[in-house]
């Protein structure tokens, strides 16, 4: 619309509750699938390290899944999960997250030096205790790196879900486009970027707390 300002601050002030609700919905539908992907990537990654022949077929399957257009997958799921439901959006996002997290999980578990494993075994650590106390902590930097990529990708892709009735902040893009009203579009872009930045900062803090030695090694390497 000619003469329409880029941002109408009064509209934003009048719709703070609405924007907050969309932000919460966006966080749920984008970040819960990442947690689900992580929960699946850990046992699958462990299987792939124990049985290396499994890794290439699984990685190939999830690479194909990751290459599928998200909107097309949402549409295919509608007859089974329903229109405007969280499941329609979250299932594909969980698969995309798993496609990112499986390689980083396998790389992290493989990065543990064999002498370290042998030393843990010599100290009386069983397989599960060794996994919890030695292998997973050593894999934390790899896991966090994968989580950062998966989380930011999921936050971005979740907006597409608005086209099938459940997309959190994606509604703002559709609303602004349909009404030729740029304020919701700008607000949506800013909120998506803020959510991604906050999520990334939280993951970096988690890496610092869970693997402080990795941070020190990065600083020394510089």
**What pLDDT digit, counting tens, does each position of 56-89 carry?**
999 899 889 888 888 889 888 988 988 878 899 9
- Per-residue pLDDT band at 221 (split at 50, 70, 90): very low
Q: 3 vs 128, which has greater pLDDT?
A: 128
Q: Is the pTM of this model over 0.75?
A: yes
* CA terminus-to-terminus distance, the chain: 51
Q: Is the model's pLDDT at 174 over the cut of 80?
A: yes
Q: Is the model's pLDDT at 191 over the cut of 60?
A: yes
Q: 122 vs 173, which has greater pLDDT?
A: 173
Q: What is the mean pLDDT of residues 83-98?
A: 91
**What pLDDT digit, counting tens, does each position of 13-34 carry?**
999 999 999 999 999 999 999 9
Contact 191, 168 (CB under 8 A): no
With 0-12 / 13-18 / 19 or more C-beta atoms within 10 angstroms meaning exposed / middle / buried, residue 8 is middle
- Per-residue pLDDT band at 213 (split at 50, 70, 90): low
Task: Note the pLDDT of residue 218.
Answer: 47
What is the C-alpha separation between 210 and 199, in angstroms, rounded?
16
Task: Note the pLDDT of residue 220.
Answer: 39
Domains of the chain: 9-221 (1.10.3720.10)
Kindly give the residue spans of alpha helices, DSSP state H, lying in the chain. 9-14, 16-50, 55-67, 70-81, 86-110, 114-122, 127-130, 136-158, 170-178, 182-210, 212-221
- Per-residue pLDDT band at 149 (split at 50, 70, 90): very high
Q: Is the model's pLDDT at 205 over the cut of 90?
A: yes
What mean pLDDT value characterizes the chain? 87
With 0-12 / 13-18 / 19 or more C-beta atoms within 10 angstroms meaning exposed / middle / buried, residue 66 is middle
Task: Note the pLDDT of residue 134.
Answer: 79
CA 80 to chain centre: 24
* Token reading at 85: 């439901």
Closest C-alpha to 25, from 176, 155, 149:
155
With 0-12 / 13-18 / 19 or more C-beta atoms within 10 angstroms meaning exposed / middle / buried, residue 51 is exposed
Lowest-confidence segment of 142-146, 148-152, 213-217 by average pLDDT: 213-217
Q: 219 vs 68, which has greater pLDDT?
A: 68
What is the C-alpha separation between 215 and 194, in angstroms, rounded?
24
């Amino acid at each position: 619309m000619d003469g329409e300002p880029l941002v109408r601050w009064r509209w934003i002030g009048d719709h703070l509750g609405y924007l907050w609700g969309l932000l919460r919905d966006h966080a749920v539908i984008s970040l819960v699938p990442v947690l689900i992907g992580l929960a699946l990537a850990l046992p699958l990654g462990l299987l792939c390290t124990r049985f290396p022949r499994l890794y290439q077929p699984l990685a190939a399957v999830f690479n194909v899944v990751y290459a599928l257009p998200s909107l097309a997958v949402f549409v295919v799921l509608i007859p089974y999960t329903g229109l405007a439901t969280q499941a329609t959006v979250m299932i594909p996002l969980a698969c995309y997250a798993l496609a990112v997290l499986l390689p980083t999980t396998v790389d992290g578990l493989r990065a543990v030096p064999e002498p370290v494993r042998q030393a843990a075994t010599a100290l009386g650590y069983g397989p599960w205790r060794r996994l919890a106390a030695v292998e997973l902590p050593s894999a934390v930097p790899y896991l966090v790196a994968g989580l950062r990529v998966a989380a930011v990708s999921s936050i971005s892709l979740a907006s597409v879900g608005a086209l099938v009735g459940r997309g959190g902040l994606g509604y703002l893009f559709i609303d602004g486009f349909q009404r030729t009203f740029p304020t919701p579009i700008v607000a949506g872009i800013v909120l998506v970027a803020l959510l991604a930045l906050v999520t990334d900062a939280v993951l970096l803090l988690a890496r610092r707390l869970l693997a402080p030695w990795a941070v020190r090694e990065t600083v020394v390497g510089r």
